[in-house]
């Protein structure tokens, strides 16, 4: 209710008492949508600080205000040296006027996200200048038409059939909620009239309270069960509301921002640990391909040529079991393939254990930071916490729009696309025609680029390692051997209308590699 006629009609008489006879000595802005007016006499000084940000419109009246030496601009030069003679609220309107000895006036229009300050010279009915110039319609506000008249008679109430919003449009959200809580919507007309009168009686005998609702601080003139601040002084209420909305709320918003980031990171990390632990358990409990290969090699003489399956005695399990073979491979070649798979499984297990260890460290650190952050009560320790943990730099790096993972191999930069959409961005914005482009053949996967270095041929070892990464970041990740396409980036093109990540390759060569992840880079 701080932007409400029923509050302003109590605030303005107090302001008139405080500011009458004071001279305006300064008027400036140093933050977007914030106007500061300094007033003084021989014995005192007081400021009007109007924060007119669309999301936070509120007023405060500090006795001290330190003007910044930079990023500040003087405004309304016509006001300097003028003396305030009166402050009055406009009738049934969310606005008040500071009247000056010269006949000029300054109007504070407090219309939520369209709040503004308008300067009217003497004898002018339209503003000469306004604070928020983007609100162009405000230049057409006629000074004599701001006051409104409302008929608060029973006859008019009955004529409007008890519609509270039409009868008393100045009420605002909190009083309307009060009426609703009293059963106003379903009440008969007489009961509605009684409730309206009861509400007006409460507003006419205000006690100002600041409450917290949905992470926002609100001022109310109605009795409340719980308040973060209470007073009988409307100026003190305005100053405290300003502090809560601009300082406390900003602190809580910043703190909650980092808490949300950490809680989300904690959630993702726990999910990864659970999934990886389950996969490790499956791999460790599964029969090793090398054991199957051992049984096949020990029984080569019993396997008929061209067999697709055969029953053999498994000396590991000590029972007869069915073994599936590949018709296109001899039993010996198939066993060799199983031995390679077993070797790759060992690498995959090592990779998973490494990843699990890293994630558990991250989880422990995140939980520690959440606990530490929950104990912080003020802006200064919060800023120290953010600085000490280098959170701003980490977040900036995380939010930087880079669609690839970056590796370095023998001095060559390797870029690996993060997703299908990122593959398109990688090719479009980060590929040079002489870069070497790699991709797992005939399956979905990441685009990989080896960045060209002037005058230096791509070493075979670098190409092979990049191909291993291309295979690892593809559907062929768990194969023992995987084919990878290699070609200069100039032979890769995107076809209009094709799905994200899909390209046409005009010329290519293929390299067979073992998929290997970044742990070995």
| Residue 249 in domain | no
- Same-domain check for residues 276 and 393: yes
Question: What's the rounded Cα separation, in Å, for the pair 7 and 133?
Answer: 27
Asked whether the beta carbons of 47 and 62 are under 8 A apart, the reply is: yes
**Cross-strand bridge partners of residue 98:** 87, 106
Number of domains observed in the structure of the chain: 4
- Same-domain check for residues 15 and 119: yes
- Same-domain check for residues 171 and 120: no
Q: What is the number of other CB atoms lying within 10 angstroms of the CB of residue 418?
A: 17
The per-residue pLDDT for 521 is 44
- Same-domain check for residues 389 and 429: no
- Same-domain check for residues 369 and 417: no
**pLDDT tens digits for range 276-295:** 888 888 777 777 788 888 88
| Residue 122 in domain | yes
**pLDDT tens digits for range 92-129:** 999 999 999 999 999 999 988 889 999 999 999 999 99
Residue 24: DSSP 8-state: E
| Residue 245 in domain | no
- Same-domain check for residues 226 and 291: no
**pLDDT tens digits for range 217-240:** 888 998 888 888 999 999 999 999
- Same-domain check for residues 422 and 451: yes
Can you tell me which residue has the tokens 């390209």? Answer: 503
The per-residue pLDDT for 519 is 63
> Cβ-count burial of 49 within 10 angstroms (0-12 exposed, 13-18 middle, 19+ buried)?
buried
- Same-domain check for residues 387 and 416: no
- Same-domain check for residues 409 and 495: yes
| Residue 253 in domain | no
Kindly report the average pLDDT of the chain as a whole number.
Answer: 89
The per-residue pLDDT for 497 is 83
- Same-domain check for residues 356 and 281: yes
| Residue 474 in domain | yes
| Residue 52 in domain | yes
Asked whether the beta carbons of 510 and 486 are under 8 A apart, the reply is: yes
The rounded percent of the chain whose pLDDT value lies above 70 is: 97
| Residue 353 in domain | yes
| Residue 120 in domain | yes
Angle at the Cα of 248 (from 245 to 254), degrees rounded to 5? Answer: 105
CATH number of the domain that 45 lies in? 2.30.310.10
The per-residue pLDDT for 393 is 62
Work out the pLDDT band at 394, boundaries 50, 70, 90. low
- Same-domain check for residues 405 and 482: yes
- Note the helical H segments in 406-498: 420-425, 460-472
- Among candidate residues 472, 437, 468, the one with its CA nearest the CA of residue 451: 437
Q: Does residue 173 carry a pLDDT above 70?
A: yes
Q: Does residue 348 carry a pLDDT above 80?
A: no
3-class SS of residue 435: coil
As a whole number, mean pLDDT of residues 354-370 equals 91
- Same-domain check for residues 274 and 213: no
Can you tell me which residue has the tokens 């369209």? Answer: 114
Q: Which of 185, 205, 240 is the last residue of a domain?
A: 240
Q: Which of 189, 212, 240 is the last residue of a domain?
A: 240
Work out the pLDDT band at 401, boundaries 50, 70, 90. low
Question: What's the rounded Cα separation, in Å, for the pair 139 and 136?
Answer: 6
Question: What's the rounded Cα separation, in Å, for the pair 149 and 74?
Answer: 37
What is the span of the domain harbouring residue 386? 259-397
Q: Which of 348, 372, 397 is the last residue of a domain?
A: 397
Distance linking the first and last C-alpha atoms of the chain: 62
3-class SS of residue 389: coil
Indicate if the alpha-carbon torsion angle 238, 242, 248, 252 is positive or negative.
positive
Q: What is the DSSP string of 63-103?
A: S-----SSS-EE--GGGTT-BEEEEEEPTTSSEEEEEETTS
């Amino acid at each position: 209710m701080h932007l409400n006629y029923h509050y302003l009609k109590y605030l303005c008489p107090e302001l008139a008492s405080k500011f009458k006879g004071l001279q305006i000595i300064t008027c400036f802005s140093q933050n977007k949508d914030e106007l500061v007016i300094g007033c003084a006499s021989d014995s005192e000084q007081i400021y009007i600080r109007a924060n007119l940000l669309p999301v936070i419109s509120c007023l405060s009246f500090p006795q001290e205000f330190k003007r910044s030496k930079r990023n500040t601009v003087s405004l309304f030069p016509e006001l300097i040296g003028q003396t305030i003679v009166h402050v009055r609220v406009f009738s049934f309107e969310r606005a008040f006027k500071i009247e000056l000895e010269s006949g000029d006036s300054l109007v504070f229009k407090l219309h939520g996200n369209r709040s503004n300050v308008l300067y009217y010279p003497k004898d002018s009915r339209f503003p000469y200048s306004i604070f928020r110039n983007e609100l162009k319609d405000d230049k057409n506000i006629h000074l004599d038409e701001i006051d409104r008249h409302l008929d608060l008679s029973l006859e008019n109430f009955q004529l409007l059939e008890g519609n509270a919003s039409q009868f008393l449009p100045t009420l605002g959200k909190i009083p309307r909620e009060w009426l609703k809580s009293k059963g106003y919507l379903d009440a008969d007309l007489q009961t509605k009239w009684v409730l309206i009168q009861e509400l007006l009686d409460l507003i006419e005998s205000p006690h100002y309270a600041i409450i917290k609702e949905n992470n926002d601080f609100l001022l109310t003139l109605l009795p409340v069960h719980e308040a973060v601040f209470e007073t009988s002084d409307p100026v003190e209420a305005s100053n405290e509301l300003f502090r809560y909305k601009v300082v406390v709320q900003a602190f809580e918003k910043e703190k909650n921002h980092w808490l949300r980031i950490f809680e989300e990171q904690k959630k993702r990390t726990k999910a990864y640990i659970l999934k990886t632990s389950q996969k490790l358990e499956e791999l460790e409990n599964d029969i090793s391909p090398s054991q199957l290969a051992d049984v096949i090699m020990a029984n080569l003489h019993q396997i008929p040529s061209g067999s697709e399956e055969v029953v053999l005695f498994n000396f590991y399990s000590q029972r007869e079991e069915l073994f599936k073979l590949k018709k296109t491979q001899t039993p010996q070649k198939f066993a060799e393939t199983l031995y390679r798979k077993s070797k790759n499984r060992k690498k995959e297990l090592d990779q998973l254990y490494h990843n699990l260890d890293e994630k558990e460290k991250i989880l422990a650190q995140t939980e520690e930071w959440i606990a530490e952050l929950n104990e912080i009560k003020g802006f200064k320790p919060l800023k120290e916490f953010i600085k000490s943990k280098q959170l701003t730099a980490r977040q900036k790096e995380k939010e930087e729009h880079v669609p690839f993972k970056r590796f370095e191999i023998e001095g060559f930069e390797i870029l690996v696309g993060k997703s299908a959409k990122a593959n398109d961005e990688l090719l479009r914005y980060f590929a040079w025609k002489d870069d070497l482009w790699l991709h797992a053949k005939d399956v979905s996967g990441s685009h990989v680029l080896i960045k060209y270095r002037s005058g230096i041929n791509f070493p075979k070892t670098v190409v092979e390692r990049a191909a291993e990464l291309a295979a690892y970041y593809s559907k062929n990740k768990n194969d023992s051997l995987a084919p990878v396409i290699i070609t200069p980036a100039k032979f890769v093109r995107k076809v209009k209308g094709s799905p994200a990540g899909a390209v046409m390759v005009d010329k290519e060569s293929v390299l067979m590699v073992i998929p290997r992840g970044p742990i070995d880079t």
